[in-house]
Structure 1
Amino acid sequence: MTGLEGVPMTTDSTPTIVDSDGHIIESIEEMAEFLDPPIRDTALGTGGIGTIIELSKTSLFGTLDGLHFTNVVPSDNATARRERINASGHRMGSAQDWQALLDKSGMAETVVYTTEGLQVGKLRNRDYVVGLCRGYNDYVADCYQRYDSRIHPIALIPMQDPVRAALELRRAVKELGLLGAMLPSTGLDLHLGHEYYWPVYQEASDLGCILAVHGGSNVGIGIDSFTSLTTSGIVHHPVPLLYAFVSFIYDGVFERFPDMRVAFLEGGCAWVALALDRIQRAAEFSGAPPRPAEEYLAGGNILIGCEGVDPTLPYLAGRVGIEPFAYSSDYPHEVDFKSAMDEIEETVNDDGLSDDQKAAVLGGNAKRFYRL
């Protein structure tokens, strides 16, 4: 079955599709309505320093890093040079655009993360980030979740202040009905396994909600001298996920909070093989983790986002089981509507996975993990 301009669509024979990691693209003008007055003035450039900082008119979170908005022309050997096909004529990444994608693709549901807020960990003024996260959460609950119940936005919380982050997490889950919160993979002063952040993990465990470490900025991971978004992207998406996973294990987070559910998103799944091998090797010389790393992955409380057919996935499925791995569209970032549909089709046709494994990756695992 085909849809928009020949894009392959899901059919009755295709497993239920649940997107574990899509993205909204924020409208700062829409979001301003939900912000406290000082931050609203910054958003709209109508008061104080907001009138002279032009960047504030397009971003409340600052820039992601020094590369993401400077590489506007793909290299000559890039494969994705065709004209982009979005899901609709609506603003890209809007609730209306996502609703159209769900209708046209046959996806059952999507879990959507921020675009602007991927760099939230870089912010330093605690009062500002507390107010900004609160306004963002009100915005996505009202303009996305309430617009279409199939769209599930994930909250932002001010991890710079764990006590207030825990309070905002509780509000986002209990009052707004959001599924949980994103943890920035870079930008914070301490690694995510540090005990400083444990009040957030305790709250997430008490609430039974998810937390998700999401790749974003390239700051602070040793590649500041890279000048190409391509070379940076190879590293800066998966490597911080590896950092977080290792720190959660060795700092005792998974032992202290055994019921906490954590997703690791936008880094593919190949980094997991590296983590398992290095942890096993380290155990021979400097001490084993509390449990074999494979047990954490197989326990049902960890989700790893996979973007299309990942050559490493069949190997990992054999090593730890298929349960941790879930399809992520990443729409409308690196992929457009056609690419997202192509990746689903590729997974359906992957000879390296059984039908049950395909069904789990394409929808079952995300549905279970997010409790949809």
Structure 2
Amino acid sequence: MSLLEAAAKKTKGRKGVGIIDCDIHHTFKDIKQLFPYLPRKYRERIELWGPSLGGGPGTLNGGNIGKRADSFPPNGGPAGSDLDFMIEQLLNPFDIRYGILTGEFIACTNTADTYYSAALCSAFNDYTIEHWLDKEPRFRGSIYLPIHDVAASVREIERLGSHPGMVQAYVPSGSNHPYGNKMYHPIYEACLKHGINFTMHVGAIGDGMNAPATNVGYPSYYIEYRAARTQAYMAHMASFIFEGVFEIFPELQVAFIEGGVFWVAPYLWRLDQDWKALREQTPWVKKKPSEYLLTNMYIGSQPIEEAPNRQAFDTLFEAMHAKERLLFCSDYPHWDFDSPKLVFPKMDKETTNHVFYYNAARYYGLPMPDKTEE
């Protein structure tokens, strides 16, 4: 029996609040499954030239084409493309009460042809609704946005923001501008209008129309791209805070998914320190930067760093307010999948319930469990 099978066996049938998994990468068996949702000109373009999306060393992310070896459906197709197999391998054995679908198509958000990008995002969103959300009530979806076209992004939120199964606006960490920039304000207004949050997921840095993955240019290997993830999130976090987004939109909630965890605490310490000395330039920042974590930001748990000892883990876990702001993410079906039974050291019941369920329920507006389940 594998470690994952053993972990699933331990979880099956246990009492408790269950789990909300905030990062499940679903996909299609073939891009032609998007054709019913695409205009003819884009169907013909794909048939003639292929999808023509961005790419680079960042896409070569280890494992079996970047996936768990056992996650490929027995009936064929890419990992994450078979709903029934995902239910059998992930949702049922690990007691996943809700799964947030984040897709495997994030490159479509940043193609050079922004009309094409908008069409692909809309098509993937509609495909997700019809083939996943309509067939499994435990799933919730993400509204892919063509982030380089703010007006088109707003239209997509207006089109789908009130759909009961769509719970977040969704963009890659790769971008041309940090997300605190005022050009993105219409997106945040639309999110608040429809009661959804704004979620960033690691991806597309240095791809398509996006800026290089690091301040010193393009890395050569995936491990370098992986190490650079926190750089992008640090830039976005500082931008949200210092450009005053959380003062202009105090109800806006944002999440940083798949960029690691323990960098957050020392980074916010540094921002607090600099804010004290430099705040005359940004007088609209009314609170210490670290305080905005507790009012406006959430952090995805995957991939959580392996601390050298339990004391170091507990210190950083507490320092970044994980009990209140950490969202459990499995990253299924990727090669670095985090099993909910193996990823954390033993935690007390209250902390466990918050990390695995309550925090995500608050972020996504999902039902809180019955008191008898706690």
Q: Normalising by structure 2, report the TM-score.
A: 0.82
**Partner Cα separation in structure 2 for residue 140 and residue 29 of structure 1:** 14
CA shift in 2, pair 1:85/1:73, >3 Å: closer
Contact 1:344 1:362 in 2 (8 A): no
Q: Which moved more, 1:270-279 or 1:258-267?
A: 270-279
User: TM-score, length-normalised on structure 1?
Assistant: 0.83
| Structure 2 partner of 1:295 | 291
Q: Which residue of 2 aligns with 1:242?
A: 234
Partners of 1:87 and 1:98 within 8 A in 2:
no
Of residues 206, 214, 224 in structure 2, which corresponds to 1:231? 224
- Do structure 1's residue 33 and structure 2's residue 36 form an aligned pair? yes
Deviation of the 1:329 alpha carbon: 0.4
What's the C-alpha RMSD, in Å, of the aligned pairs?
2.8
Correspondent of 1:252 among 213, 222, 244? 244
**Which residue pairs with 1:48 in the alignment?**
none
In structure 2, the gaps of 5 or more residues are 207-211, 367-374
1:303–1:325: 8 Å Cα contact kept in structure 2? yes
Shift in Å at residue 89 of structure 1? 2.5
| Deviation digits for residues 243-278 of structure 1 (CA, Å, limit 9, x no counterpart) | 111100001111111111211101121221232122
- The corresponding residue for 2:149 is 161
Distance 1:20 1:72, change over 3 A: closer
Cα distance in 2 for residues equivalent to 1:134 and 1:232: 28
Distance 1:205 1:4, change over 3 A: closer
Whether the 8 Å contact between 1:31 and 1:135 is mirrored in structure 2 is: yes
**Which residue of 138, 154, 157 maps to 2:126?**
138
Aligned with 1:271 (options 263, 271, 281): 263
Offset of residue 7 of structure 1: 4.4
* Cα contact 1:215–1:238 (8 A) shared by 2: no
- Quickly say closer, same or farther: Cα 1:120–1:96, change in 2 above 3 A: same
SS of residue paired to 1:181: strand
Provide the C-alpha distance between the structure 2 equivalents of 1:73 and 1:177, rounded to a whole number of angstroms.
Answer: 31
From 110, 113, 121, the equivalent of 1:122 is 110
What residue number does 2:330 align with? 329
Aligned to 1:12: 14
Kept after mapping to 2: 8 A contact 1:298/1:320: no
AA partner of residue 253 (structure 1): V
Give the corresponding residue for 1:305. 300
The answer (yes or no) to whether the contact 2:299–2:327 under 8 Å persists in 1 is: yes
* Aligned-partner Cα distance in 2 for 1:61–1:319: 43
**Aligned equivalent of 2:177:** 190
Query: d(CA) in 2 for partners of 1:85 and 1:124?
Result: 35
* Contact 1:204–1:211 (8 Å) recurs in 2: yes
In the alignment, the residues of structure 1 paired with residue 34 and residue 169 of structure 2 have an alpha-carbon distance, to the nearest angstrom, of 18
Partner of 1:151: 139
CA drift of 1:138 comes to 0.7
Equivalent residue letter for 2:142: I
Structure 1: which 5+ residue stretches go unaligned?
46-50, 75-79
Secondary structure of the residue that 2:57 maps to in structure 1?
Answer: coil
SS state of the match for residue 86, structure 1? coil
Supply the distance in 1 between the matched residues of 2:108 and 2:267 (Cα, whole angstroms): 26
Rounded to whole Å, the distance in 2 between the matches of 1:245 and 1:213 is 11
8 A Cα contact 1:61 1:120, kept in partner: no
Structure 2 distance, partners of 1:64, 1:37, is 25
108-117 or 220-229, larger mean C-alpha shift: 220-229
